[in-house]
A = this chain, B = another copy of it.
């Protein structure tokens, strides 16, 4: 009972070993993450096309839920760039006008997405996320980074455009050229330059000034916070709002009320597909961060429990007027580097965010949107890593096609098309490859018991024996291919009296393939040829024994291919 409770509530496990030292570590990490999270949560709300408070709200209850249920010790949950972009696209797709409706749609998206995650976790279906291949994810993230950066250029230059795809965004910016606000642009550009400088040069500078490497690196992460403070002070001191610089404006200083978002049935239905995609993408991003960090400390995470924890976090976000959340890469790494020991760090971060909502919101009034946009652009440009295209190209054409189609479709048709087509393309390519497996006619390497491809090696073959090695599992998609290959060989070589299939690389034979083997056996027998198998694996043989095939086989099943060739060769002499 206890074991199972601890499984579903990891807090019961780690809280028993909680010490004062752990508390200090967790509090320090939580403090640093909170300082990062305040500007990020505002920025990702902006990216999602929503008022800034939703970013703050999404950083309260979800963190507490993950802290109670999550298995990663350092994961920092909250709004993240890619998921916020997907939220913007999904909410935009509903064609809503009023801000209230958009808020309800975003919260609804979090709720449905959380429901999917929870369901997948309870049904232990986390492995389904594996059908998102690495090249598809990498291509999707890179293309999303481009879209995110481009979507923020409007705030950087003080115009307002609409669109979710590369052509739409470029076209919108082109049309809005004349409306550029010079002061906004100057402020945005300055922030951009400052943030790039912080990212590239601040940590080394601080180190040269005598700070420890870890401290220098953590301080350098506070760059966006400095930008926010300086930007806010400038906007207040020089009254930039009067010059047409867009400011965040008044942010409610109270905690969110708990409520189910008000949407009609048709809207819930429209949210289903985007919510599923957000759930899967968010889960994959979160789990890979969690696994990377856990492995460094030889800890383990449980993907199915992670689904439950992320599901609960999103449901909490949806019920408290937030947006979809997941475990983010940058904040989790900071939390890890700052020495977070348990999920309590996440709960302490949530407390810090509560204080921020209650006491800091008046100060956010003068924060320029251009500052937030600049911080988003700098953050996501590290995502735009198109080297995956080159890696895939040099490794395998199949992977390149999957990557290239994901990137192209994400940019041209939007995030939902990109990731869906990417997944389908990689599955289709895998199946098509498996449907045309590599097969080699093999012969004996002289003086050994080894058998190799006749086309690659100088080997000995017997005219009456066709020895065929199949380098793939046999299943419906390649069963008929095998039949055709064998019949073609037989039709081309009238001398053949024996066919040996070397099965060392076959891990499974399904019913279709079994029936093909039976058909081959029968048809060969009718034309005077016997079929033999060699080197059948244990589990495959167990399976074959459930059928009548071993008895129906016109030839024998040999333990080794060499034994088969030896015996059939002797037989030929007798004939």
Binding site for B on A (CB under 8 A): 127, 129-136, 291-292, 294-296, 298-300, 303, 391-392, 394-396, 398-399, 426-427, 430-438, 456, 471-473, 475-481, 483-484, 487-488, 490-491, 494, 504-505, 507-508, 510-512, 514-516, 519, 523, 526-527, 537-539, 543, 546-547
A490 — which chain B residues lie within 8 A by C-beta? 298
User: Which of B130, B432, B526 is within 8 Å of A295, CB to CB?
Assistant: B526
* A491 lies within 8 A of B300 (CB): yes
* Contacts beyond the supplied A298-B491, A438-B507: 17 A-B pairs with Cβ under 8 Å: A130-B435, A131-B476, A133-B511, A295-B523, A296-B527, A298-B494, A298-B527, A300-B488, A391-B547, A392-B511, A395-B511, A398-B510, A427-B427, A437-B507, A456-B538, A472-B473, A505-B507
A475 — which chain B residues lie within 8 A by C-beta? 133, 430
User: Which of B398, B433, B479, B543 is within 8 Å of A130, CB to CB?
Assistant: B479
Chain B residue at smallest Cβ distance from A477: B130
* A133 lies within 8 A of B510 (CB): yes
A433 — which chain B residues lie within 8 A by C-beta? 508
Q: How far is A487 from B301 in the complex, measured between Cα atoms in Å?
A: 10
Provide 18 A-B residue pairs closer than 8 Å at the C-beta atoms, listed in order of the A residue.
Answer: A127-B481, A130-B476, A130-B479, A132-B476, A133-B476, A134-B511, A135-B476, A135-B511, A295-B523, A295-B527, A296-B523, A298-B491, A395-B547, A399-B510, A430-B477, A437-B507, A438-B539, A504-B504
Q: How far is A456 from B478 in the complex, measured between Cα atoms in Å?
A: 31
* B476 lies within 8 A of A292 (CB): no
Q: How far is the CB of A72 from chain B (nearest CB, A)?
A: 13
Q: How far is A538 from B453 in the complex, measured between Cα atoms in Å?
A: 11
A134 — which chain B residues lie within 8 A by C-beta? 476, 479, 511-512, 515-516
Chain B residue at smallest Cβ distance from A523: B295
* A511 lies within 8 A of B476 (CB): no
Chain B residue at smallest Cβ distance from A527: B298
* B396 lies within 8 A of A511 (CB): yes
A523 — which chain B residues lie within 8 A by C-beta? 292, 295-296
A547 — which chain B residues lie within 8 A by C-beta? 391, 394-395
Q: How far is A291 from B480 in the complex, measured between Cα atoms in Å?
A: 10
Q: How far is the CB of A481 from chain B (nearest CB, A)?
A: 7
A298 — which chain B residues lie within 8 A by C-beta? 490-491, 494, 527
Q: How far is A395 from B300 in the complex, measured between Cα atoms in Å?
A: 37
Q: How far is A523 from B546 in the complex, measured between Cα atoms in Å?
A: 42
Q: How far is the CB of A466 from chain B (nearest CB, A)?
A: 14
From known contacts A481-B127, A508-B433, infer whether A519 and B292 are also in contact, taking CB-CB under 8 Å.
Answer: yes
A456 — which chain B residues lie within 8 A by C-beta? 538
* A510 lies within 8 A of B396 (CB): yes
* B546 lies within 8 A of A394 (CB): yes
Q: How far is A296 from B490 in the complex, measured between Cα atoms in Å?
A: 12
Chain B residue at smallest Cβ distance from A392: B511
Q: How far is the CB of A300 from chain B (nearest CB, A)?
A: 5
A537 — which chain B residues lie within 8 A by C-beta? 471, 505
Q: How far is A329 from B480 in the complex, measured between Cα atoms in Å?
A: 18
* A296 lies within 8 A of B526 (CB): yes
Q: How far is the CB of A302 from chain B (nearest CB, A)?
A: 9
Q: How far is A426 from B435 in the complex, measured between Cα atoms in Å?
A: 14
A473 — which chain B residues lie within 8 A by C-beta? 434, 472-473
Q: Which 8 A-B pairs have the closest CB atoms?
A: A133-B476, A295-B523, A399-B511, A134-B512, A133-B512, A300-B491, A134-B515, A471-B507
Q: How far is A459 from B323 in the complex, measured between Cα atoms in Å?
A: 54
- In this complex, the member of A398, A488, A512 whose beta carbon has the largest number of chain B beta carbons within 10 angstroms is A512
* A430 lies within 8 A of B510 (CB): yes
* B396 lies within 8 A of A543 (CB): yes
Chain B residue at smallest Cβ distance from A138: B515
Q: How far is A140 from B494 in the complex, measured between Cα atoms in Å?
A: 37
A292 — which chain B residues lie within 8 A by C-beta? 519, 523
A546 — which chain B residues lie within 8 A by C-beta? 394-395
Q: How far is the CB of A36 from chain B (nearest CB, A)?
A: 25
A491 — which chain B residues lie within 8 A by C-beta? 298-300
A527 — which chain B residues lie within 8 A by C-beta? 295-296, 298
Chain B residue at smallest Cβ distance from A403: B511
Q: How far is A324 from B373 in the complex, measured between Cα atoms in Å?
A: 61
From known contacts A483-B291, A488-B300, A527-B298, infer whether A131 and B435 are also in contact, taking CB-CB under 8 Å.
Answer: yes
User: Which of B133, B295, B472, B476 is within 8 Å of A426, CB to CB?
Assistant: B476
Q: How far is the CB of A137 from chain B (nearest CB, A)?
A: 9
Q: How far is A116 from B95 in the complex, measured between Cα atoms in Å?
A: 38
User: Which of B394, B476, B487, B543 is within 8 Å of A291, CB to CB?
Assistant: B487
A130 — which chain B residues lie within 8 A by C-beta? 435, 476-481
Q: How far is A129 from B547 in the complex, measured between Cα atoms in Å?
A: 25
Q: How far is A389 from B288 in the complex, measured between Cα atoms in Å?
A: 41
Q: How far is the CB of A426 from chain B (nearest CB, A)?
A: 6
A539 — which chain B residues lie within 8 A by C-beta? 438, 471
A515 — which chain B residues lie within 8 A by C-beta? 134
Chain B residue at smallest Cβ distance from A429: B510
Q: How far is the CB of A286 from chain B (nearest CB, A)?
A: 13
Chain B residue at smallest Cβ distance from A549: B395
From known contacts A132-B476, A295-B523, A427-B431, infer whether A511 and B300 are also in contact, taking CB-CB under 8 Å.
Answer: no
A391 — which chain B residues lie within 8 A by C-beta? 511, 547
Chain B residue at smallest Cβ distance from A400: B511
Q: How far is A316 from B437 in the complex, measured between Cα atoms in Å?
A: 36
